[in-house]
Chains A and B, each alone.
Chain A
C-alpha cells in the first residue's frame, strides 16, 4: 500500500469513526455544537462586513472578550500537556492515553486560541504579514510576534504527536518511541512557555499597571494548572464510563490533590497582589477598585463576576483540599466545574477589562461584550469542542475498541 493510499485510508477511516457509531446523546451534542458554529458564522459575517464596531470594544478598552478567551484557552492548552508530568512521576498506568488526551485537548484549545485572535484582528486578511519570509515578523522585540511563534510551534508539536499516535494505532503498528518521547518531553517546556509568553504580552506593558506585575506569569501558570486538569478530570470520568479507558481512582484523586496545591498557590499569589495594591494604596489601585466595586460612585458591571470567581476559587480549593470531598465523585466534580468557571472568569473578564479601566488618561468606559462577541465566542468554543469530541471519539475507537484487536492481529 502506497503511503498516499495509507493516508487517504486513514483519513476516511477515522472520519467514519468520528461520525458513525455514537449513541443518541453523542449526536445531540454534535448538533448543539454545529448550531453554535452556524449562528457564530452569521455573527462573524456581520462583524466582518461592518468591522469591530459591532463589538463593544472601543479605544479605551481595546481588547475585550475575545482576547480574554484567548488567554484562558492558552492556559487550558498549556495545562493539558503539563498533566503528563504527574502521569510520569506517579507512574499512572495509562500514561500514553493521558498524554494523548492532553495533547488532543491542547490542539483543540490552541485552534480556539488562533480563532479568537483572528476574530479580534482588525484586518484578518493581512494575517500573512506575520508569516516569516513574506511578512515582517517583529522579532525579537514584539511579544505578540513571539506568542504567534510559540503557539504555532506548540500546535504543530501536539498535532503531529497526537496524529502520529492515532495513525499508528489505526494501522496497529508500534509507534517509534524515539520520535514520540522527545516530542512529548519538548511539549512540556513549550506548554510552560506558551502561557508565560502570553503572560508577558500583558506583563511587558509598563503603561498598564494592572498587568505590569512580576507575578503575572506565575499566576497564569498556577491558574492554568487548575482549569486544564479540571476539564480532563471530567473527560476521564466520562471516558471511563463509556469506553474501555481505564484510569484508577487514585490517579484522579492525585490530580485533584495537585489542583488543590495549584489553587492554593494561585490564591496566595492573588492575595499577594491584592495586598500590594490595597496596602500601598497608590493610583494603581483604581483597576482593582473597578474590578471589585466601581469608580466615581458608579458600580462596575464586572464586579459581580469578580466576586463569583473568587468565591468559586475558594470553595473549590476547600473541596479539593479536604480528602473526603476530594474523593467523593459528586463534590469533586462540583469542584472541577467551579474551578473551571473561576479561572474562566479570572482570565476572560477579570484579567483584561480592569487592565483597560480606567484607561491611560483616567477615563472610564464600562465595557461589556456585545451580542456579536458572545455569539462569535460561542462559535469558537463550538469549533473547539467539536474538534475535541471528534478527535477523542476517533482515539477511543482506535485505542480501546479496535486498537487491541489490531495490536494482536
Chain B
C-alpha cells in the first residue's frame, strides 16, 4: 500500500458554510448561558462565558487561535501576576519523536518527577505527578504486580532493587485517543499525544483505557504557587489546567518542538533518559534501537509505544 492516500477524498465544504450552523448553535448556547447569569456582565463573567463556548482546538481558524491565545495569556498573566506566554507551536515536519530509558542506569532518585512538575505546571495541591517511578526487585524482573511507587529510602538505589519510571508512552496506537467520546485528545503528526483542556469533558474514559497509568485527572482545583509557575507555556501542553479535566505528559512540547530536550532528560543525573527523532537515522534514539535491545511496556496490547526501555549494561 502506498504511503499517500490514493482514493480521491470528497472536497471539504467551504469553511464559512460549515461554521455558520455550528456558530449559530454555539451562539445560541452562549446566549442561553448569558441569560442565565446576572444582567450586568463583568469581565470575569465574559471570560467564563468565552471558556464555556471555547471551540475545539482544531476548529479554530488562525485568527481565532490568535485571539484565543491572547485571551489566555491575559487571563493567566492576571491570575499569576507575571507575564505568561501561551503558544501553539506546530509539529516539525519530518519529525517523529521517540524516547528511550536505560533501566540499568536509573537509580530511582525521582529528579525527573519533580523537574517535570516544575516545567509542566502540575498542581502542587492536590498533588499531580506525570511521572511515576516504580521500584521492583531485581530478582523479579519487570513485574508490575510487585512494583512500589511509594518507596522512601535514605539513598537510592536500594540494595536488590531496580527502578522503572513510567509516564505517557506516546503510543502509535493510543487506546486513550480511541475511547475519547469528544475527540479531546489526539495524536499529532510528530507522534505526541495531546489533550485540548478546553474541550475535555472529564469523563475519564481515557484513564480507564490507558494501560500505563499515564493520565491524571484534576480532581480538585489545581494550584501552583505564583512564583513557581513556568510562564513559557503551550496550549496543548503545560499551560495551567482547570479542575475536572485530564492531563498527562506531552513530552515537553514547549521545549521539544523548539529543538530542546524534554525536562526529564535535562534533569536526569545518570543520563538514563534519551530523546530524539525516530526518523533521523543519526539520532541517539535510533542508535539505541539499532545497538541495544529495546523493549516496550505491555507489548501484547499493541499500543505500539514510542517509549522504549532498554538495558544499557
Residues of A in contact with B (beta carbons under 8 Å apart): 50-53, 55, 57-60, 62-63, 117, 120-130, 133-138, 141-145, 148, 201-202, 204-208, 283, 286, 355-356, 358-363
Contacts and interface: CB of A to CB of B under 8 A. Distances in A.
5 contacts: A123-B201, A137-B182, A142-B205, A206-B301, A356-B208
B181 A130 contact: yes
A59 B132 CA distance: 12
B264 interface: no
Nearest to B144: A362
B181 A145 contact: yes
A76 B64 CA distance: 46
Nearest to A126: B201
A129 B220 contact: no
B153 to A, nearest CB: 18
A362 B184 contact: no
Contacts of B220: 50-53
A126 B201 CA distance: 6
A60 B212 CA distance: 11
B120 to A, nearest CB: 16
B208 A62 contact: yes
Considering residues B21, B56, B208, which has the most beta carbons from chain A within 10 angstroms of its beta carbon?
B208
A129 B210 contact: no
Nearest to B186: A138
Interface string B226-242: 00000000000000001
B180 interface: yes
A127 B217 CA distance: 17
A143 to B, nearest CB: 7
B25 to A, nearest CB: 4
Contact of A360 (B146, B204, B212, B242): B212
A134 B25 contact: yes
Given A134-B26, A207-B301, A361-B144, A123 B179 contact: no
B156 interface: no
Nearest to B56: A136
A51 B242 CA distance: 10
A41 B38 CA distance: 22
A130 B182 contact: yes
B175 A205 contact: yes
A51 B182 contact: no
Give the dominant DSSP class at B's interface.
loop
B183 interface: yes
A359 B213 contact: yes
A143 B179 contact: yes
Given A51-B218, A58-B219, A138-B182, A126 B199 contact: yes
A360 B218 contact: no
B134 interface: yes
A358 B203 CA distance: 21
Contacts of B201: 121-124, 126-127, 129-130
A61 B147 CA distance: 17
Contacts of B180: 138, 142, 144
B157 interface: no
A136 B204 CA distance: 16
Contact of B203 (A53, A121, A136, A286): A121
Contact of B209 (A55, A205, A286): A205
Interface in B168-221: 175, 178-184, 199-205, 207-213, 215-221
Contacts of A133: 21-22, 25
A360 B210 contact: yes
A355 B246 CA distance: 20
B155 interface: no
B208 A205 contact: yes
Contacts of B150: 363
B149 interface: yes
Given A122-B243, A361-B134, 10 more contacts: A50-B221, A59-B217, A136-B184, A142-B179, A142-B181, A144-B205, A207-B211, A361-B144, A361-B149, A363-B147
Sort A-B residue pairs by CB-CB distance and give the 4 closest, nearest first: A122-B202, A207-B211, A122-B244, A53-B220
